[in-house]
Amino acid sequence: MSYTPVQMFIEWLGSYSNLNGYSLSRGMWDEDNSDMKKKFLSVWVNQGRNPGPGISYPSIRVIVTGVRNGRAIGDAESVEMFAHGIIDAANENWDTDCITLVRPLGSIQGPNYTTNNRAWYEVNFQLII
């Protein structure tokens, strides 16, 4: 069975990061009023570069959010620490059976806030497959 780059990344992420408390979303998260306490982890892929046959370099974009109205309770710090944990996981456990390299691209970006005062940070990675 063939896996897509985002499936491989999500599998890697689940192996090296504790995703408890986060709802995984492929692409932008979708929320309603019942999701006030949910935290989201959104993952999507960009093609990246492809220099030759047999090797690809997709880019993975990850958005990590806090709870709705989290600005009032200082939730941004816990979201930032979780995002740093993903980078640490990539630096320490950068290969799998399917991925040759998981490399962070720069540092985390944020905090940013949604219109509902949900803190979010962005982390980008490059895979070598």
Q: What percent of the chain has pLDDT over 70?
A: 95
Q: With bands split at pLDDT 50, 70 and 90, how would you rate the model's confidence at 50?
A: low
pLDDT of residue 1: 45
Q: With bands split at pLDDT 50, 70 and 90, how would you rate the model's confidence at 93?
A: confident
Structural domains of the chain in order of their starting residue, each with its CATH number: 5-128 (3.30.2000)
Q: Could you tell me if 59 and 44 are in contact, meaning their C-beta atoms sit under 8 angstroms apart?
A: no
Measured in Å, how far apart are the chain's first and last C-alpha atoms? 15
CA 17/CA 53 separation, integer angstroms: 31
Question: What phi and psi values does residue 10 have, to the nearest 5 degrees?
Answer: -60, -40
Q: Could you tell me if 39 and 67 are in contact, meaning their C-beta atoms sit under 8 angstroms apart?
A: yes
pLDDT of residue 78: 93
